[in-house]
Each structure stands twice: as C-alpha cells, then as structure tokens.
Structure 1
C-alpha cells in the first residue's frame, strides 16, 4: 500500500499562480493565437466549480480589459466564457445575454477563433433551452472552425456535446462524433478533455447495451474501468468534478445490469465514491443517482430497513442545504413509498405519499415554469437573430454609403456635372433602398408580435392537452395493480411470466411517453401499444376476458394516424364493461379496423360487458373517473377544421339481436 504524500495548500496556491503567469508570458508554437486576455478569461472559467464568485470577477476583469483595448476578438471570447459560466450556474437570462453579445460581435470579425467561440456559446444556449436543431447547427459550425485551427481540447468537448444531441435518434452519428471526440482528446493530451470524450463514447456503449447487445457488457465495463482509473490518476487536473462522479455512477450502473450474481463490492464502492464527490462539490444529479441506485439495490435485496434509512438520510442532507430541490425530495419520497409497500407498512406509505404528492406538485410547477421560460428564451433568441440580420443589412448599407462618398470624391476630379448626375441617381437609389428596408423592418416587427402571441397560446394549449393525455393513458390504479401482480408472480417464483409482463409494462410506459409527444404514429405502432395495454389488463383481471384485434384486408398498417386516441376507450370497456361482469363466462373484447375512404379510418370496439345502463348505475359508487370522452372529444374537435368527419359514437348493444355490452365507433383521420 502506497503512503500518501501531503502538500501544503499554500504551496499549491503559489504553484498555480506561477503556472498561470508562465502561461501568460511564455509563448510557444501551439498557442501563438491565444492572447493574454483570453488566457485570463480561461483561468477565470476554470474556477467556476471551486469559486463561482471569483470566476465571474476574473472573467469580467478580462472583458473590461478587452473593451479598454477595443479588441473585438477578445471581447467575443470573454462573452463566450461568461455565457458558459452562467450555464453552469443555471442563470438563463445572463446566459442568453452573454451568448447573444458574443454572437452579435462575431458578425464584425473574420477571426476564426473568435467566431468559433461565438458559435460554441450559442450552440450551448440552444441546447440548454432545448432547441436541438439550432444547437446542432451552431455546434457543428464551432467544431468546424476549431478543427481548422487545431484546437483539439475544444474539439473534443464540442464533438462530445454533438454526440449527446444526436442520441438516441441517430446511433451512427452518436458513434461518429464520440469517436472523433476521443481522437481530438488524445491529441490534446488533456485529462479534462479525455474524460469528457470517454464519457460520450461510454454513453454510446451503454445505449447499445440497453438496445439488447448483451455481448457489449464486458467491453463497456472494461472501458469505464479505464475511464475511472484515468479520472482518479488525474483528479487534481480535472476541473469538472461532476464528470468524475458520472464515471463512477455509470460504472456502478453497468455492474447492476451485468450477469448475476453481480460484483456487489465494486458496485457499492463506486457509488460511495460518487456520493463523496456529490456532497463535496454539491452536485445534485450525482447525489440523486448514487442514493437512488443504492436504495434500489437494498430494496431488491430485501433489506428494506437499510434502503429506508438511506433515502431518509438523503432527504435530511437535502433539507440541510440553503435551497430546496423539489425534484430530489419527490424522488426520495417516491422510493420510500415503494419500500413501505414491500414492507406492508401502509401507515408509513400514506405519510410518504402525502409528502411525495406535495413535492411532486412543486416539481411539476417548476418544470412547467422552466418549459415556459425556455419557450420565451427560444422566442427572444429568434427575435435577436432577426435583429442581427437587420443590423448586418444596415451595416452593409452603411458600407455602401461610404463607398458612395469615395466615388463622389473621385468624380469631383473628373467634372462637376458628372459628379452631380452620379450623386443624384445614387442618392435616389439608396433612399429607395432605405424605404424598402424600413418597410421590411416594420413588417418583420409585426410578424414577431404575431408569432409571440401565437407561440404562447399554442404552447399553453399543447402543455395542457399533453398533461391530461398522459394522465388519461397512465391511470395510477392500473400502474399500481399491474406492478402488484408482477410482484406477486415474482414472489411465487413464476419468473418467466413475470419477466414477460414486466417487459410489456416497461415497453407500454415508454410507448405512451414517446407517442404523447408525436404528431402522428403508424397504425402498426398503435396496434402494438394496444396489445401491450390489453395484455397487462388481462394480467390485472386474472385473464377474465379474451380479445381480438383485426384489420380489414384493404387497410395498410403503415398509414399515419394521431397517437393515443383508441386506448382510453379500451380502458372504459375493460373497467366499466368487462370487469363488473358475472364470473360464470369469459368476457370478450373485439377491435376491428377498416378504411372508409382515403382520409378516414373506422375503428370499431365491441365488448360483451354489462352495457351502458348498468355501468352508469355502478359509477355512482365508483372511484375510477375516466377522462377519455372529454380529452378525445377535444382532440377530435381540433381536427374537424381539416377533417370534418372526425368523431366517435358510443352505443348500447341490443341483447335480443346481438349481445349485451357496448359498441364504440371512432372515425380517425388519416394524416
């Protein structure tokens, strides 16, 4: 065992300042384009984790020095560093102001390094406000410019960020830019860049593992072991301590996904290291992940008391901080609810559920506010981009006016008459041009005002419908009962059915969350979601009913329809029709699709349940409230402008001529 060598903190501080001044005044072939002002700003940026106040102060001093020297390139770079620092501090308004300032100034220079920084900070801003297409566009431009000047450290970080933005939609591009990040990091020979790039490539390996490539588990573990070793050996040179914590978390998570029995010692050791870093540097996401994985481990192991103490410790630590993280508290209380259910301590469950509901609502309010803020930021950013383009046009006009002045001076040498004619026609041209630009500017401002009103109204309506749509699809009673039945099968050692239904439940949850954000899905995807949902309902009701899903021969399964329209009616048929049936015979749920014409798809849902009249009588004492009719009616009503036949009918089946039960006919527009 090696002995630890202790170093005096004063010596460390002196060494840092000595290194700092050596960097400022010693030039070399690799850093000839980096000015002394940029080095000061970069030094301040490095302190953003250890001393945020000092970090901003140093960067602002560098900015003032650049302004004093009237150096536009250094001002652009200082604004970029300040913007990236504000991203770390989660100050959106300041982040946006500094990024915009950098971008505006960049239009006045052709210096590659300065323009690269401007695109980098703007790409980071677009990523922060969830404008992914613009984020990718700006980061790709920054990556191209930094590559030209061989700034490998910056290239490694930007390529990593681009890789994350392409995930999970484009695995090939994720792999491409993660590999390029590794390539640049190797050339930079900087542990900070190397760790940044390795985390991006590790994320790609983990995505492959999650996609079913189980043979990739051992290579992924070996890769993250090397990553953790790199981080530990160079911890003093790595500024972003959160990346070290992420490496530990990812390695622990891989152990939990590996072959059983897992290496418990390595799993817990990595989580403990991540927790230490999270507490030391106040990194919330690392702390939440570490506590969550440990609690899940002890819960699965059956040590409920230890899991409960772990989550309570996490709550106490969070409450001891000078701010409240509602998201973190909601997560911990939700975990305590699960532990209480497994311990069958329903009094504790009620207590934790009350607190969970409180903090979950606060978290939801914060998330909604953040979405609105991001929408406002995207809108303001688009307005500023239009203004930048207008300024460029005005600058171009001013430049032409200068050229006009030079032309007039030259014409004076030739003759007064020729000068007068030339000046008259040119001046007339530019006056007309100015009038056109003013008119375009007025039209643009009017368009911006209309866009602002329309964007906010549409965003509010969409958020409301999406929220209620998710609630109608994922009924809490259904989720709780489905998980309870799966748990019962596990306890009865029915492993194969339990795993099968757990897979269906996970797939259903993911499908609902993904499809609620889409404008259209294929009929095949809709049928797959309905199949998963119905089979889980069969499990919940002990297979008390059968079902069939049929498509007319003329119906093509790749046609596009609005998502999540049919499932609420399936829920009503099961909950209010089939569930209350007498148990002497099996229920039957029939779903049939046929195409009425090129624009409409007809979905017919039949059940042999108790029927509408009996169902309404039972609803008086029933606590289950379905929102399907209301939400579906709202959604179909919004489509009637373009699809006048969209709608649905709910009818009582005639027991004498048909069978008891209910009949639903939905006319779905084909998009």
Structure 2
C-alpha cells in the first residue's frame, strides 16, 4: 500500500511528466510547422534528419514513429536525394534495432544500402552495410551477417574510414566467435584492437580486449582469457564505464567458475552486482543476481543460491523481463534437481517452458507485425512514388507545351532576325562592292596624275641640269614607276613596300630641288612592316604637298619628318611634318602666281580616305592638318596626321 504522501508525490510526478510530454508534443508540432517556410531541397531533408536525432528520445519514449524522419523520407523521395535517404533510413533502422525490431531494422538498412550505393560514397555504403550486418547477427542469420560485414570492410578500406573498418572487423570476429572459429576470431579482434589503439579509441580497445578474452575462453585457455578480461576491465575503469565494468566482472566470474576458483569467481560477481546497481538498465543487475545464484548452486549452497535467484526473479517479474524469467526458472529447476527435490524442479521446468512458448509466440507476433509494417511502408513508398510520377508527368507535359510554344516563337523570331540580317548583309555587300569600285577608280585617277607630275619634273630637270644627273634621275624614276605599276595592282600593300616607294620618290624630289631639304622616315618598333598593310600611294600626295607648298619656298634648309605609329593594335597613324613656310604663306604665294586649281592628288587621296572610312565603318579614319607656330606666332611648318584602320596579312 502507498502512503498518502507517496500517492500525492506519484500524482504530481505523473502530472509533471504529462505536462512535459505535452510541451514536447507542442514543440514537435511547432518545429514541423516552422519547416514549411524552408525550400523543398536537400538542405531541408538534412534539417529534418538533424531535428529527428535531437528528438529521438522523445519518440522512443512514446514508442512512436519519429515524425521528422518520416518527413525526411517523404521529401527525400520526392526530390530524389539518395544521400539524405541513406542517412535517414540508417537512423530509422538503428532506432528499430534498439527496440529489438530486427526485421524492420534490416528492411530499413537494406533501403539505406540501395540509396548509399547510388551516391557512390564508400564511407556511407560501409556504414549502411555494417548496420545490416548487425541486424542479421541479432537474428542469428550469421552467413548473411558475415557477407554484409565483409562488403562493409571492403568499402571502408576504399574510403580509408577507420571507424567503419573497426566495426566491420569486430563484427566478423563476433560471427566467428558465435560459430566456434575462435582462432579466426582472435585474428580479427587483434587487428581491430591495433586500429583502435592507433586511433586512441579507448572504448573500442576495451571491447576488443574483452572479445579476445571470450575467444581464448572458448579455446579452453582460461588464464589467457582472464588476462584479457582484466586488461579490458582496466580500460573500462579508466573510462568510468559502469556497463563495461559489469560485463568484465561477469566474464571474470564465469572464467574463474570454469576453473573451479569459486572464491575469485564470487568476488568478481559481487563486484559486478555492485557496479550494475549504478547502471540504468535493470536487466544487468537481474543477470548479476542470477549468476551469483548459479555459482552458489554449483557449490552445493542451495539455500543461499535460491535467495539470489529469488531476487533475480522478483526484479524480472517487476520489470517484465521475459527472457530473464525463462533463465531464472531454468536455474531454479536445475538447483532443485541438484538438491534432490524433483517435484519442485519439474514445477519450475514447466514454468520455464511456459515462458519459452510465450517468448516464441511474442517473437512470432512481433515478426508478423514487423512484416505488416514493412508492407505498409513499402505500400506508402509506392503510393508516394506513384503520386510523384503523376506529378512529374504533369510537370513534363506543361514544360513540353511551354517548350513547344517558346520554340515556335523562337524559330519565328530567328527567321525574322535572319531575314533582316540577310537583307542588311546583302545591301552592305552591294554598297561595299560599289565603294570598292569607286576606290579603284580613284586609285586609277591618281596614278596618271603622279606620273604626269613626275614626267614634268624630269622634263624640267633635263633642261636645267647635266645629262649625267638626268640619267641618274631617269633611272630612279623608272624603278619608281615599276614599283608603282606593281603596287597599284593591289588594294593593299605591305608597309615596307610603301616606305620603299616613298624613299625613291623623296630621293627624286631632292635631286629635282637641288637638295633644299632633308627627310627622315621613322617606323615605330612595335610595328612589323612586313605584316601591316595599307592602301598604296596613300602618304605620297601629302609628302608632295609638303615639299612643293612648304619646303621649296623656305629660306634655309628644310626638314621633312615622316613617322608611322600604331594605336591599340587597330589604328595606323602616319604623320608628315615639315618646317616649311606654313599654309597661310603658301596660299599667298599661290594667289600671287594666279593659281586657282586644287591639287588633283590631294583631291583623289581625300576621296580614297573617305571611301576607306565608309567601307570599314570607322570613325577614326581621317586626315588632320595642324599649322605649326613658334612661341611668337611665326609659322613653323605644317603637320598632317593620316589615321587608317590596320590591315594584316593574316
């Protein structure tokens, strides 16, 4: 009977727990609602998984499905996110295994394997395979378990994932331990132990030391087994791991009992009992009472043995540990049989059989329930996939119609744009062809003009100079004529040919003018005069104009500078600078002589440059004339800058 105060405390506790559960439920709903604002992408799936892990205890305590994990699965399938699905199926499977729902756990972990393999991430594959291996070990399907762990080991080694390697090796060792292959098991446990020591994982070290102890005990090497149990115990004590210490003490007690060293066995089991009192899971303390009872029964201390076994029985009944009740009744039956009380032994044997049947029925019912759950989960997945498939088909149809519409509109637009540019290109080509014909015509006009001027100069030179000088002049003139006739066959010639013909012309004019001027031609270093192209005879008319209107009237030595530079790799600038009398004074002299016509060469060249500007659609193509003056305003010559688009051979 409970006291009044105890009743009130119980009521308050239940109320508080209910309130906390209500608060947790409200928190879950609010958190799920807050997720609606997130975009439906892989980040949201990962967010659900993280929240599901954080709230795992809440759902496990209520024996409910983790709502966050379910949302992660639904969204992961909808957006086809294999990594997220592998992670969430691993989490759900592990939660099922922790509730001993091994069939369901294995189904989820197999799904995790399928999606992990889609990611081609060996680390994720090894984790999923190890989980499936553990499920099958718990169901005693050892061959399947071995296959899973072996595949996990291969994937983990490819990924160099030490943690998964250790899990796989340790699990393979446990399978070999279960099948009596103790030597092989020791080899695997030793390898796992070395890896755990290398990575300073003390818990893994303790587990593998204990496992090696079990294998040596299986081989009958009890002293070696005890040595490894003690080493495992020392590591667990260092970690303050009560569960680990209890397992080690129980193992030591069992080993000493096998050696008939009952004193040390009892000491170890009593220590296990003391440590198990600090462990939350009461099945361990129940097991400790049972082990002590069995030890005392083996020594013939039946009354004392039954007191310990009875304590194990009371705890098992209180906590409904059916598997422990089966073992307790079997132990009581064996003890009464050893003491000669066969009637009581038969009574407890019957009870143990009842629990055995009950456990078998319960396992069968659980297996059936898990199978149904798998069916429901698969049916739900199929429905989700079917809905998503229909949705995708609808979206594809919509996209297809939109694509058709835009494709048709795009085709019509391209057709219209193509027609526009075709007509425009045709007109431009026609205009360009016309302009080129005009340019050839102007070039043809210029050549006779230049030849006429040159022959006039030779005529005057012959009458006013010696026959030898006239012959030299005529030789140079004939060479210049050959160059002109050759160059004018082409729309463009190389810069070096233009400069060569220009030098011949200047030499002729210096002879003609009795050396009243000097000239310099400078080509910028960054110009390859074999590669750069320009129209033939484009500079000569401005040079001629500088000589006959600027330099010949100058008192003193005249200087003509011709420089050729390039700007931005696209524009050629030819500058003709003289230190003659200037344009104003030249016009005055021209007016006194009564000359009114304009130079044909200048007119033709200006026409050529205008056509070049139109053909190339270049605003930069032009001729700029600058009057040079001294500081006091006295004319100091003229500068002409001819700007042309650059043409190259290649």
Q: TM-score, normalised by structure 2?
A: 0.45
Q: TM-score, normalised by structure 1?
A: 0.43
